[in-house]
């Protein structure tokens, strides 16, 4: 018990730091750790990944809130993307809608192995982008409007929800490809993470309400004990990550994180039986 609690405290600290540093919510760190913790506790394999991504999503509510406030104070959140006056054009709104649909409707229809495999594949692609991607490469000068917010935002939200991530791993590269400066992309992605985490958590609570095999102290698929332990340490490290994001050179940090994420993704793919 104590080694697992210590592990989750360390994971929480790292997840909070990466949430502030990269605007990614920390789910890429939390989901694998929760997966292994729930496995060690003997949780039903059919719901292990559902509980891991749901608990991760609940923690991202706190991480996203802390990270967004820290980046707002530095003027690095694009509110025209997160919540413009014409609210139906809001990426934040449609990301939230996609997130709820992903958690409430899509995730329960996918087996634990499929969720694990999706996480592994997408995480590995994201890791490659962190390692070999060019932060200064752009495809266009502005973020698209029109049908893009519901289509792109909804897709990012749904995929992020079933992976238990804050969406920054997907939205930061998308924003930088559309000409958004990297620091502004990170800050805005933190706001997207909050827009993902709240409806995703609600969806996982509803979809897992009567499911058997969940770990003790769970509300739907969300494990309250895991949430409490991780938040206890993540709360203090999110602002540190935000400060680091504005002071440190991003390229070496991105590559180190990308390599670690790739190794985690490969191990999760092995757990899902891909090889």
Express each pLDDT in 145-175 by its tens digit. Answer: 999 999 999 999 999 999 998 877 788 888 9
pLDDT at 50: 96
Instruction: List pLDDT tens digits, range 37-84.
Output: 899 889 999 999 999 999 999 999 998 898 888 889 889 899 999 989
What is the widest separation between alpha-carbon atoms in the chain? Answer: 52
Taking the C-alpha atoms of residue 31 and residue 204, their distance in angstroms, rounded to an integer, is: 15
Residues 116-142: what's their mean pLDDT? Answer: 86
The DSSP bridge partners found for residue 223 are 218
Taking the C-alpha atoms of residue 24 and residue 258, their distance in angstroms, rounded to an integer, is: 12
Query: 34: helix, coil or strand?
Result: helix
Q: Which of 197, 132, 194, 191 is nearest to 163 (CA)?
A: 197
Instruction: List pLDDT tens digits, range 191-246.
Output: 999 999 999 999 999 999 999 999 999 999 999 999 999 999 999 998 888 788 77
Question: pTM for the full model?
Answer: 0.90
Residue 272 tokens, joined:
């899902």
Model confidence at 126, pLDDT cuts 50, 70, 90, reads: confident
**What average pLDDT does the structure give for the chain?**
89
Model confidence at 135, pLDDT cuts 50, 70, 90, reads: low
Element at 223 (helix H, strand E) = strand 222-223
pLDDT at 229: 94
Query: 218: helix, coil or strand?
Result: strand
pLDDT at 23: 63
Element at 148 (helix H, strand E) = helix 148-148
């Amino acid at each position: 018990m104590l080694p697992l609690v210590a592990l989750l405290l360390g994971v929480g600290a790292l997840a909070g730091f990466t949430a502030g540093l990269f605007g990614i919510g920390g789910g890429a760190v939390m989901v694998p750790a929760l997966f292994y913790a729930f496995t060690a506790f003997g949780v039903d394999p059919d719901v292990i990944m559902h509980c891991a991504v749901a608990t991760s999503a609940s923690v991202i509510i706190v991480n996203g809130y802390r990270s967004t406030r820290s980046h707002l104070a530095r003027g690095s959140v694009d509110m025209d993307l997160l919540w413009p006056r014409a609210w139906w054009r809001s990426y934040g709104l449609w990301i939230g809608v996609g997130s709820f649909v992903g958690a409430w409707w899509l995730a329960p229809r996918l087996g634990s192995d499929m969720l694990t495999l999706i996480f592994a594949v997408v995480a590995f692609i994201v890791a490659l982008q962190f390692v070999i991607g060019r932060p200064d490469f752009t495809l266009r000068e502005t973020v698209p409007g029109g049908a893009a917010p519901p289509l792109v935002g909804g897709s990012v939200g749904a995929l992020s929800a079933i992976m238990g991530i804050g969406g920054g791993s997907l939205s930061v590269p998308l924003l930088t490809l559309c000409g958004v400066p990297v620091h502004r992309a990170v800050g805005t992605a933190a706001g997207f993470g909050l827009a993902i985490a709240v409806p995703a958590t609600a969806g996982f609570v509803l979809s897992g309400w009567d499911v058997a095999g969940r770990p003790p102290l769970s509300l739907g698929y969300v494990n309250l004990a895991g949430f409490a332990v991780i938040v206890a340490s993540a709360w203090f490290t999110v602002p540190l990550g935000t400060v680091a994001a504005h002071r440190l050179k991003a390229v070496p940090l991105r590559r180190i994180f990308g390599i670690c994420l790739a190794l985690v993704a490969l191990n999760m793919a092995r757990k899902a039986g891909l090889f």
